[in-house]
Amino acid sequence: MEQLNLSIVVPLFNEEESLPELCTWINRVANAQQLSYEIIMIDDGSTDQSWNKIEELKSQFPIRAIRFAVNYGKSAALHVGFQRAKGQVVITMDADLQDSPDEIPELYQMITEQGFDLVSGYKKKRHDPLSKTIPTKLYNWATRKMSGIELNDFNCGLKAYRNKVVKRIEVYGEMHRYIPILAHRAGFKKIGEKVVQHYPRKHGVSKFGWERFINGFLDLQSIVFISRFGKKPMHFFGTLGSIVFMIGLLSFLWLGGNKMYCLIQDIPEKNIADQSAFYLALTSMIIGTQLFLAGFLGELIARNASHRNEYSIDQEI
């Protein structure tokens, strides 16, 4: 069976009004470029008539659809869509018509002809309120600094992937914001960016609130830590614990040496236990020991994990 050119993965939640126009738009663009395609719609527990609308549209367009019993979130929807994608190139877009299907041909060309593994959309001109655009800029700046990946818009829903990229990464929690980081970690280094059109929302309301920025920052810390130390926790906790312990130990030795010197020279000096520095040194030694033990336990868990020897293999001869 000949492989499809495109799999278009569309996670959605309460978007019944947008779906007919979105499918018609995708179909028009794909047919104009003579691209074979499938639309994979993941209904993330919608409470409106979105699923009924999908069933109606299925007779007109090449749609494959999955319906979640409850709202699991965008990451879960993308993960399920990625598992089922059959196209040579996989494109993700939101269902609210703010992402333009007219971008599909160039995204497809950047993957198939220019050799990118992943291309992320960049909504340079956004039709969003300042309460959304300013935090987004700060979030993208922090993500660039912590990940080392030079993208302007990590959270843009419009992205294109080589098929093997989506098969090799696992999107969970709220990690959909960091798919470029997950892909980079899996060995896909050629990550590009394309300025894309951002349209005002036609129907419904945004499904994301302020909490996404807090959750996003916490997820970023998690993924950076796991990327660097997921299989070697002792390198982080052991090193940090050793440093903290040595600071405490050296402080304690300095206090003891100073007390000994004062006794020999008959210089009045407080008892070591009466000095606040003694308790700071003792606390540092205790914390350092606990950090070291945390690294040791993490190492034991990592060595016994079922995925401890899973590696990202690109090809084999």
Dist. CA 315–CA 158, nearest whole Å: 28
Q: In 3D, which of 252, 227, 240, 223 has the Cα closest to residue 293?
A: 240
CA distances from 223 to 34, 156, 172, 178 (A): 39, 18, 11, 8
Closest to 93 in 3D by CA, of 179, 15, 11, 25: 11
Q: Which residues of 253-279 are buried (b: 16+ CB within 10 A; e: fewer)?
A: eebeeebeeeeeeeeeeeeeeeeeebe
Strand partners of residue 217? none
pLDDT given for residue 317 in this prediction: 42
Tell me, what's the pLDDT at 133? 67
- What's the pLDDT score for residue 120? 94
Sequence-distant (≥ 6) Cβ neighbours of residue 66 within 8 angstroms: 40, 41, 42, 43, 80, 81, 84
First CA to last CA distance, the chain:
24
pLDDT of residue 305: 55
**Can you tell me the distance from the alpha carbon of 129 to that of 26, in angstroms, rounded to the nearest whole number?**
27
Among the listed residues 171, 2, 166, 181, the one whose alpha carbon sits nearest the alpha carbon of residue 84: 166
Q: Which pLDDT score, from 0 to 100, does residue 186 have? A: 85
The amino acid at residue 130 is L
What 3-state class would DSSP assign to 232? Answer: coil
Q: What is the pLDDT of residue 311?
A: 44
The rounded distance, in Å, linking the Cα atoms of 4 and 104 is 14
Q: What is the mean pLDDT of each run of 10 residues along the chain (317 residues)?
A: 86 92 96 95 92 93 93 90 94 92 95 95 74 72 81 89 92 82 88 87 60 63 64 77 91 86 81 83 91 81 57 47
Threshold 0.85, pTM exceeds: no
pLDDT score at 3:
78
- H/E element, 289: helix 276-304
